[in-house]
Every structure is written in structure tokens, then in C-alpha cells.
A = this chain, B = another copy of it.
């Protein structure tokens, strides 16, 4: 019988080398994405930025239990991986506007896929 070929690599392409990874590797596409989303609060910050640009203090107000230390860590990390852009606003008091890059916005379908599976897997409503 045909072996069940549920391929993680792109459909139509042969299994890429990472589809054969024998151990966790930072160059595996799946791990690249999970690394970008890694850390508590990260997906909530991205969700908020998907709704529009936000300043540091706006994010703190929307996510009140998120400490400034962790928020700045998350934003720095997301900037490192090319998901968010930082933009100093002139004037006083100093403000910084955070926005998603195109690559950050392209996380929308990814989060949607995560949402859909999680929603379908819940017991309750």
C-alpha cells in the first residue's frame, strides 16, 4: 500500500533537507518560526500590532500584567528577527512607535492556523 505521505516540506517539492533533520536545528524553517514566536506574551504583542501601530506605553496599557522589562525584551527580539520596526517619534515626552514589517504581517496566517487548531481542540464552547 502507499506509504502515508504527509509531507511537511512544501507541497510539490521533494522533502527538503530540514524535513530530514535528525535533531533540533536553528536553520529548520519550523524552528525559525517557533523561535520568532517564542516566549510568553509574544503572540499577544504580535496580535496587538496586527491591529495597528502601538507605542510602548500603549502596549503596556493594553497588556497591564506585562512588565516593562519583558515587553522591551520581546520587542527587541521581534525587531531582531525582522518582525517589528521601531520608530522614534520626535517631541516630548519621547515615544517610540512599533509597527509590523511585511514579514511580521505575514505571521497573520500562521497565527490563524494556530488559532484554528487550538479552537477545534477545545472541549468547551
What sequence of 0s and 1s flags, for each residue 87-109 of chain A, a beta carbon within 8 Å of any chain B beta carbon? 00000000000000001011111
Given A29-B116, A47-B19, A51-B5: A121 touches B108 (CB 8 Å cut-off) = no
- Does B110 lie within 8 Å of A23, measured CB to CB? no
Query: Known: A44-B24, A121-B103. Is A115-B6 also a contact (CB below 8 A)?
Result: no
- In addition to A8-B47, A23-B65, A36-B121, 11 A-B residue pairs with Cβ atoms within 8 Å of each other are A3-B51, A5-B51, A6-B108, A8-B50, A21-B44, A29-B118, A29-B122, A32-B122, A106-B117, A106-B120, A113-B114
Question: B-contacting residues of A (Cβ < 8 Å)?
Answer: 3-6, 8-11, 16, 19, 21-24, 27-34, 36-37, 40-41, 43-44, 47, 50-52, 62-66, 81-82, 103, 105-122, 124
What are the 3 tightest A-B residue pairs by CB atom distance, in nearest-first order? A29-B118, A32-B118, A113-B113
20 A-B residue pairs with CB within 8 Å: A3-B51, A4-B50, A6-B50, A6-B51, A8-B111, A22-B63, A22-B64, A23-B41, A23-B64, A27-B122, A29-B115, A29-B118, A32-B119, A32-B122, A33-B117, A33-B118, A34-B37, A103-B120, A106-B117, A113-B114
